[in-house]
Amino acid sequence: MIDAHHHLWEYNREEYSWIEDSMKVLRRDYLAGDLVEVCEKEGVSGTVVVQARQSLKETGWLLAIAEKSELIRGVVGWVDLRSDAAGDQLSAWAPHRKFAGVRHVLQDEPERDLMLHPSFREGMARLKPHRLTYDLLIHPDQLEYAIELAASFPEQKFVLDHMAKPPIRSGRIHPWQEHLEQLARHPNVWCKISGLVTEADGRNWSYESLLPYMEVAVQAFGKDRIMLGSDWPVCLLAAGYAEVMEIYNRFFDGWSPEAKRKIYFQNAVDCYELEV
């Protein structure tokens, strides 16, 4: 299995200001040794680590850790695609065998359509020559912009993180469902089933509350463009690593071995071009 979405960090309050007082479990270091421990227990054989802050320093740090790790197969880092220096930064990191993609925390941007701005598009055009994916971290209100972006760059691989954070806590499914289905019509977009427990009702989430949203995503993207991620350690706000993996094992129980191999392993390898 490839855990296609998790984080690592050396915690300090200034650089991880998004970790609020209510998230005390996250206010500590989560490092490669901690990751190995939880992955070994669940039989996870490889991972993709994803940026947690908008920092070139963090990207370099993650790549250095990945270089020494047999478990971490890919790094999704951060580059300011709007910057004139983006091309040089991408060229400097692209030769790294585990540099797999780029992400920006679009969900927190006050300009909800930032991904469509000319400077952002210019940076986006620099990714494909380096065979890099782009991870979309967005809320449901930004799905319409993501649809336009995916259509504008049909040769660029996009990965939708956390299914665009559906409104599980409220129980609503529309218009998130319609917009997700529209995005899935673009064959250059993959989807991670990840981050769902923290979109539900805290520690009071239930498998049944997540089920309709997973069914929509799998129906929309099919067995060839779905991958799985723990969102560890952020998931610890609502569930342990094993609990998250059990959600997937329960949902995909009874699927064919071929389909499960794709969803658990091969889709992440193919999309991120991981060495395994």
Q: Is pLDDT of 196 > 90?
A: yes
Average pLDDT over residues 67-85: 97
Instruction: Say what the alpha-carbon torsion angle 68, 7, 55, 269 is, to the nearest 10 degrees.
Output: 70
**What pLDDT does 14 receive?**
85
Average pLDDT over residues 224-236: 98
From residue 96, alpha-carbon distances to 93, 105, 127, 214, 256 in Å are 6, 23, 14, 34, 35
pLDDT tens digits along 143-182:
999 999 999 999 999 999 999 999 999 999 999 999 999 9
CB 221 within 8 A of CB 212: no
Helix, coil or strand: residue 66? helix
**What pLDDT does 176 receive?**
98
Average pLDDT over residues 45-69: 96
If one compares 97 and 201, the residue with the highest pLDDT of the two is 97
Helix, coil or strand: residue 50? strand
**What pLDDT does 15 receive?**
85
Q: Is pLDDT of 22 > 90?
A: no
**What pLDDT does 203 receive?**
84
Q: Which of the four pLDDT bands, split at 50, 70 and 90, describes residue 18?
A: confident
Supply the CATH number for residue 266's domain: 3.20.20.140
Q: How many residues does the chain have?
A: 276
Question: The sheet that has 2-6: what strands, in order across it?
Answer: 2-6, 46-50, 72-77, 99-104, 133-136, 158-160, 189-193, 226-228
Nearest Cα to 238, choosing from 204, 192, 193, 194? 204
pTM comes to 0.97
- Report the alpha-carbon distance of residue 47 to residue 74 in Å, rounded: 7
Average pLDDT over residues 120-129: 97
- Report the alpha-carbon distance of residue 3 to residue 274 in Å, rounded: 12
Nearest Cα to 194, choosing from 171, 226, 161? 161
Q: Is pLDDT of 113 > 90?
A: yes
CB 52 within 8 A of CB 9: yes
Our count of domains for the chain comes to 1
Ranges of H-type helices in 14-158: 32-42, 56-67, 86-93, 118-124, 143-152
The packing angle between helices 176-184 and 207-221, to 10°, is: 30
**Where do the DSSP E strands lie in 114-203?**
133-136, 158-160, 189-193
Classify residue 120 as left (phi > 0), alpha (psi -120 to 50) or beta: alpha
Q: Which of the four pLDDT bands, split at 50, 70 and 90, describes residue 229?
A: very high
Please count the other Cβ atoms lying within 10 Å of the Cβ belonging to residue 257: 7
Nearest Cα to 231, choosing from 271, 194, 198, 205? 194
Q: Is pLDDT of 13 > 90?
A: no
- Report the alpha-carbon distance of residue 134 to residue 111 in Å, rounded: 19
- Report the alpha-carbon distance of residue 78 to residue 83 in Å, rounded: 12
What value does the mean pLDDT of the chain take? 96
% of the chain surpassing 90 pLDDT: 94
Structural domain span for residue 191: 2-272
CB 234 within 8 A of CB 275: no
**What pLDDT does 132 receive?**
98
Token couple for 263: 């969803």
